[in-house]
A and B are shown apart, each in its own frame.
Chain A
Amino acid sequence: MTATLEVAYNLSGAWITLTGGQYQYPTVTAGIDLPQPGALGFGGAASSTCEVVTKDDVPIVADALLRVRFGYDGSNVQVFRGVVETVEKDHDSGSQTVKASGALAQLSTTRLFSPLFERRRAATATTAASIEDTTNAYYAGGPINYSFWNAGGRPSAQSASYPTAPWYYACDEAVIAPRYAWFAGEDSAAETNNLCQVVGGVIFQRLDGTVVYKHPLNLAGGTPLLTFSTTGPNSASVQTIRALKPQSIAAFAERLDIPVTPRRVEREQLLKDMTPKELIAAGETKTYTLTLDQPARTILYTTAPYLPQQCFVLRYQNGVAVPYNAANFTHTTSASAAAITISITNTHATAPFSVEKLSVWGQPLMPNPAQSVKVGTAATTARARTQNASPLIQDKSHAEQLGNLQLLLGSARTLYTFQAPYRTGLDVGDVTTLHAPRYGSDRTILLLKVSINAHVCDWTAVDVTDLPRLSDYYVVSTTPQTTAKKVGY
């Protein structure tokens, strides 16, 4: 069996494959970080990376696409696809170091203002038929799907419909649906990671380039893909490993104190106003953005997207108020939960007018005084943690769901690091069996991270033998479920 490797870059639409002498073996990493020791399954997104040294005459530049494929006997599988971030040349050696990051890095540069998601699961399962286009009137996806789509991602289950997508994503159906969620123009990667921290689940980029959201009760997966064994022998279902290093980590917590910030919907009122005091010349259009102090559940329109007369104080220079009709001005709006943009066009033939005041009315989501929910044992000696406050945890039920899930997943467990040859198709997020007789019976492990160099993988995995499987729970289905099943938190 002959190991094969392909490194290619793409400057303007076509992939250019480097020849064997143009580069050294690249190092590819991918996986999931644990945001805190033991905090398995609640965020920890890490972008995949690739570092490759090439000759300095290879015309790769920042923002070019980079792709790496591994395989055997000429059959290559993609293990990295991303965007070049830096190219550092070295005159004396005649080489350059190319560093690239995967899709999650692109997500972090995306700033989104979203509509309000009401009791929408943080991520909704992507299928061949799920509506993912956020401009579709029937869009009912979760906020994580919303951010992925608007950062350029497209559902992998519908890849045939989007053959040129920069990257693909696949989502589980999240367990928790926050009462209200929204994006307010911040780092989308950080925001989606925040969502994972408060609803459970992890986002990571697989070696094949797909960005995945997995919910916490699906981490232990189904049937293990193969067995990593310290004893061998190798076969289609067994892979020998070396340098196995188990590391015990303590329980994340035995008691959690979770801050809750309830929000209430108030009746229609003034949400925000501004006094631009700007002239708009005849025929000219000016645009104003009102960033709301609190997210709006509704905006008051006459007929969406048109605002009522009370929202405009416009005045001609002779002091006469500008009548609210199309002969004098028109307007368009674009509203999200946290901001509204108003474009005003002066339709008068000659006269400029002054924008004295603009206001937006609607129903705000006002925060109530913060509360706190305690979950877990009341023993004073228990390992206690206080969850970081999040505006997304808005009711006691959510806090209890979250706390119970964290305690379930955050029990004491073992991390493993080991080395194994690259196996085609094996990826982060997969579940395998670990056979290491020296440390007891076989374990089920979740592959968290990988670093690949020269067809050798350095894996980090975590023991998930104790975790429940998806099949242990009742799921929404037209098929009868009459055997004993658990209820999710």
Chain B
Amino acid sequence: MDFREQPTFRDGVSQIISKGDHETLRYNAIALDRASLVGRAWFPNNVEHLMAPFASSDKNGEWLWSGAQLILPNMVKQITINGYLQRYNGNDGMRVTIAGTSQTPITTDGAFSVTYSITGNVGDVIPILVQKYSPSGSPGYGQYWIDEVYSPLAAVSMPTLGSAFAGTYDAARLNSLPAVAQALYTRISRTPMPLSPGMSFRYLAAKVVSDYEVLSGTIRKNNSNDVWRFTAQYWPHQAAGATEYLDFYLNGALNTIRGPYTGTGPHTVTAAISLSSLSVGAYARIEVRQRITAGATGSVVPTPSRIFVYQNGTEADGGGYAYATPPPTLTGNVAPGQTAFDAAWNGVRSVLSGVTNRLDGNAALWNRAYATRHVYVMDGQVTRGKLRAWYAHATTRVGDTLVVSGTGPISLCWGGVTPGSKTVDGKDGSDAEEVPNYFERKDANSVTVIEGGKTETRTVFLDSIEGLFVGDRYYLVAGQGGQVNYASEFDS
């Protein structure tokens, strides 16, 4: 966010009120309005699941959520976990381990919210692990659902906006505009936007006639006109006579069907699924499945279907975000008349008031630092290729700074991905025997963030990456031996 340093005003010193002063405050108000809407469109998407998460019969110790938190300035040293638990029997529950220390298990059925204290210094990365807890050792067909893992941020004192302008332009009233803008900027710029571990490229069914989960997870409705927006490229497997579809489930119910897809592809898949049934701030479980309804049952096809997901999360509908009307501008060395002059300043005041209300009304987005969820599978292995997919932490660029902690090689990639040449060398951890028709991943653009073998926390200034623009979808791709431990973007 290009938030500009703001003017201050003084009574009694013949300080001329200038177009430049108004322009700066107007610019900042517009920037804050935009950042408070667009900046959290994908947020938190903290719980996109890599495998079916809701019911499991696996044994004690199964990983339910693994991730890390970076201790930031102004962060309350706590970890809060919100979710849902339905135990199979009275002995089951969730076990929480923070920085290697076991915490009090979660053993209450129903929605829960637990808070644990953490220690450490600013810049420390704290590992967090939630596992299935089944002391009896018996399989439990319970439900385990983690919605949020976050640390609260210390409250920012919000100044009060002065009353509306009506012919008097005193310092107290004028200075309340930059003061409120500065507090809003602090609230927005300090809040990390975590990158979600999402599937980016995946091989799908290798057999015809199947019903195959592409991805599942949870999304959050952040704005009143948010929809579940999905954008992907799809390569059908080209088996003779096969008819391929993608089915979109919202809270367990089939909502939207895309397809049929035939031929070589790639086909562009888009869906904008209404979330009108949800209230702002509510979560919804989502699932995308591949369905093939024709062809020879059980036949192995020469090339599996493939999909590259560009976008999967909440975003404003076709009408766009409900931006505030930009305040009127002023012209230097011209007398605008009192009505127009008042309107120019009240316009700024109105936008700032709207942003304040928006942040206060959706506090979960603005007073929390969400932890980063790791890429993992249920056996606890950090395996990107085993599921015949390249998982990557992803986000849509909003801000200017990316903080990444992990072990290299980690690359920042953007501009989409395409299947490259066939290879059977097990690259990226894929199993050559399981995936006979392996395709090399080719990212359109890529820069190294953390070099191979190094474990460190890096700050990446996104403006310094040529061609990576605000609004671009990008990914953190960990290569062989690499692992993204924490990743968040900041809009400062």
Contact = CB atoms under 8 A, between A and B. Distances in A.
Interface residues of A, number: 49
A177 interface: yes
Contacts of B168: 477-481
Contact of A478 (B5, B11, B17, B401): B11
A140 B461 CA distance: 32
B18 A401 contact: yes
Interface stretch (B131-139, B217-225, B334-342, B404-412): B334-342
Contacts of A268: 459
B20 A470 contact: no
Given A217-B16, A470-B16, A486 B169 contact: no
Contacts of A404: 332-333
B13 interface: yes
Interface in A81-124: 118-121, 124
B422 interface: no
A484 interface: yes
Contacts, number: 137
A175 interface: yes
Contacts of B333: 404, 408, 468, 486-489
Given A124-B10, A404-B333, A476-B174, A118 B5 contact: yes
Interface in B2-16: 4-16
Contact of B10 (A125, A218, A488): A125
Nearest to A489: B332
A173 B13 contact: yes
Contacts of B15: 121, 125, 173, 475-476
B455 interface: no
B170 A488 contact: no
Interface residues of B, number: 42
A487 B334 contact: yes
Interface string A370-407: 00000000000000000000000001011011001000
A218 B337 contact: no
A355 to B, nearest CB: 25
B171 A269 contact: no
Contacts of B19: 401, 487-489
Per DSSP, chain B at the interface is: loop
A121 B6 CA distance: 10
A277 interface: no
A198 to B, nearest CB: 13
Contacts of A180: 5
Given A269-B459, A474-B341, A397 B10 contact: no
Contacts of A125: 10, 13-15
A484 B338 CA distance: 7
B459 A395 contact: no
Given A173-B13, A475-B15, A480 B167 contact: yes
Contacts of B11: 476-478
A36 interface: no
Contacts of A489: 18-20, 332-333
A486 B335 contact: yes
B24 interface: yes
Contacts of A121: 7-8, 15
B213 interface: no
Contacts of B4: 119, 179, 395, 397
A267 interface: yes
Contact of B14 (A172, A269, A397, A481): A172
22 contacts: A121-B8, A124-B13, A125-B14, A173-B14, A179-B5, A218-B14, A397-B4, A397-B27, A401-B20, A401-B332, A474-B17, A475-B14, A475-B17, A476-B9, A476-B170, A476-B171, A477-B11, A478-B170, A480-B168, A486-B333, A487-B332, A488-B16
Cβ-closest 3 pairs across A and B: A125-B13, A119-B5, A488-B18
Given A481-B167, A486-B333, 13 more contacts: A127-B13, A173-B16, A179-B5, A468-B333, A474-B17, A475-B16, A476-B11, A478-B168, A481-B338, A486-B334, A487-B330, A487-B341, A488-B17
